[in-house]
Amino acid sequence: MGTINKDLKVRLSVLTEAEGGAAAAINHGCRPFFRYHGKKWIVVVNFFGRRMAYPGETVNAYVTFLTPIKQLGRISEGLEFELCMGPKVMAKGVVTKVIDLWRSASDAKEH
């Protein structure tokens, strides 16, 4: 089995209940919706050196798209987005670096 590509490096601010977020932490490896430009895409979120991010925290993470081909040419550094679980916004974030998105899309085309 190959290595999972790290499509993006992002900075996330996990919302508190008062901000409309949830009371629970976001888990490493979760698969929320990544919403930008009015569309939602399923991603995998992996935090740097931690297993959870709690409401009120700002953390760095890697994001991997399940549909990377559809993201090509649409995502760049500085893009603001939301992470959603169902209809609820759990975190707001910004893309700090595009890492392996092109490679992920290329790998997806081969399968």
Predicted TM-score (pTM) of this structure: 0.90
Q: How far, in Å, CA of 65 to CA of 45, rounded?
A: 9
pLDDT digits (tens, 9 = 90+) for 71-100: 999 999 999 999 999 889 999 999 999 998
Reported as a single tens digit per residue, the pLDDT across 9-49 is: 999 999 999 999 988 999 999 999 999 999 999 999 999 89
Q: Do residues 42 and 31 lie in contact, with contact meaning Cβ atoms separated by under 8 Å?
A: yes
Q: Which two tokens stand for residue 82?
A: 């939301």
Q: Give phi and psi for 19, each to the nearest 5.
A: -90, 0
Distance CA 59, CA 77 (A): 17
Tokens of 11: 């900075």
Residue-wise burial string across 75-88, b where 16 or more C-beta atoms lie within 10 A, e elsewhere: beeebebbbebeee
